[in-house]
Structure 1
């Protein structure tokens, strides 16, 4: 179908080959901290200095990272496919946009964004954020990274569900299938009649929900899949 709507969910696995570690990597930033300390509102309340230092390091890594062949292939798919292509990403690194993708929803926020916990104002984050930073809108000293932490509602969920309902093809790339609500997206898309495919380094915990699977490094399997889709 030349005009089919393709909805793609991407997770940390698509950025791993750009040098950005996943939650489960040994020796990376996440291995040095408990999730409860750096990725929850309670952790931020207990020790905002620690949380800012953690995300400052992640922001620096992200800014230095370059898109890999998988990101570039998805940008090509959006540009050359006759129908709509939407990327829903769990990643906060901005590599899809660096690769040229334009139709991207960041359900977990972005490292290059700052958020005021008092008035919800958003602005571009500086390279280094501090607890003493004040909001440019209300002047409150309650700035935080514009990141969705565990226990918080992901962004754009109403819009995401609408896109899933209208998808002809749903692809999940580089995601573990263990974090909700994203883990249920394949079921939502399938219930609306979409063909579903998982592209991953190894089978996810939701692999049985997919009609089709392809396993291997993202930089190898995603460009191949995109070429096949564009040739249909």
Structure 2
């Protein structure tokens, strides 16, 4: 069986690679732009898990890179059981970055949409093309609580992109249910990943204070949710948004 993690060299994607590599008989293809980070991840795995992983350098903003990635996946034996689309970037605007929307750079907005929305779209199209003929498969998209609501702590461009990811998830879940394919989204709250870099510490402290658990989540906690959605234990779950935020969505973000 094969699994694919797009954006698997750091953060939630990397933790998902670690978990999937623990499945006996699995081959885990993971992609990203940072070859050094990929090598560090592979080196950190115990030999049995490392042997189950295959790294393919790929940029989701490049159609040719995406085509090459899926050629690599197809060349490996077995069906594509599951895919996790984790590649994403943060918005450069918003209170956490100290940049009001009216001062935001249009090129920065385009970058968020190109990675978070169109990159996910490209991968979804290729994943569904692989899974439809085999008649089964599970896809998880990395959305965000920002895809379910807005708040003054969230970047408007990032929020818009994650709403789009949620929309893609729900639409494709309905379209491909008869093909035996499940499509879900995981919606993390504030998680300790490299994406937090550049955020103002006083605002991060405020987010910790507002969270019901009074802390920021870990990438492993989100990866465990992804693993569940990819697994047969979630066999009757599709089109859902699984929030991983210690109840923060119900409070003030």
Report TM bin, short chain.
Answer: 0.3 to 0.5
Q: Considering Cα pairs closer than 8 Å and 6+ residues apart, tell me whether 1 or 2 has the greater RCO.
A: 1
Q: What is the TM-score normalised by the length of structure 2?
A: 0.41
Larger % of helix: which?
Answer: 2
Taking structure 1 as the reference length, the TM-score comes to: 0.44
